[in-house]
Every structure is written in structure tokens, then in C-alpha cells.
Amino acid sequence: MKKQNKPRTNNIAAEYQLPKEAIEAVARSLRLAFIHADEPPADQVIVYPQSIQKDPEEDGWVLATVKIVKDYCGLKSHKVNVRVQVNGKFNCLCKTMQFV
């Protein structure tokens, strides 16, 4: 008897979701942090809005996925999962960034 697979959904539990304005602010802040920290800068830095969610373990922390694309001797792409603390305006505090 075959195992029935559950359909995949990108929906995150409602208690971990952020408002749309907060997601946009976190995405913008994370993107700028990666652009300023990267030397030489990447060709593209993409923050997936659907991956941004509250950290279930601690308040004031956010989990997100960032994709970094460089075109150097061929296209190289890396996805990075980060955990970062945010302030009241949902700006990332870059010194608290942790890679998970």
C-alpha cells in the first residue's frame, strides 16, 4: 500500500505570520544589509517575502531566506537562512544576524 503524500503548501502557521508592511520592511532591510556587507558586491540579492516569519522560539526575532547570485566564471547561486532581531519599525539589527 502506497503512502499518500500530503499536498505541499507554502502557508505558514497564522501565529508566525507578519503583516504585509512588516514583511516589506524586513525584506528591504535584509537586502540592504547583505548588499553593504558583501565585498565585492553580488550581482543580485533576493529576499523571499514568503519565507519571512516570526521566530517561534523568541519574540522580536525573524527568520528569512536570502538568495545571493554572483556571475563570476559562471553563475553561482547560494541560499542562506538567517535569523535576525528586528526593532519596533521592523528594521533588522545587523549585529544580531545569525546564519541557521
pLDDT at 47: 93
- Is the pLDDT reported for residue 22 higher than 80? yes
Encode pLDDT of 46-90 as tens digits.
999 999 999 888 888 999 999 999 988 888 899 999 999 998 888
Please determine, for residue 39, whether its predicted confidence score (pLDDT) is greater than 70.
yes
Domain total of the chain: 1
Residue 84 is predicted with a pLDDT of 94
Q: Range of 90's domain?
A: 16-99
Answer yes or no: is pLDDT of 15 > 80.
no
Among residues 54, 67, 64, the alpha carbon closest in space to that of 18 is found at 54
7 within a domain of the structure (yes/no): no
Residue 2 has pLDDT above 70, yes or no: no
Tell me if 59 is assigned to some domain.
Answer: yes
Q: What is the largest CA-CA distance in the chain?
A: 54
Integer Cα distance of 36 and 1 in angstroms: 54
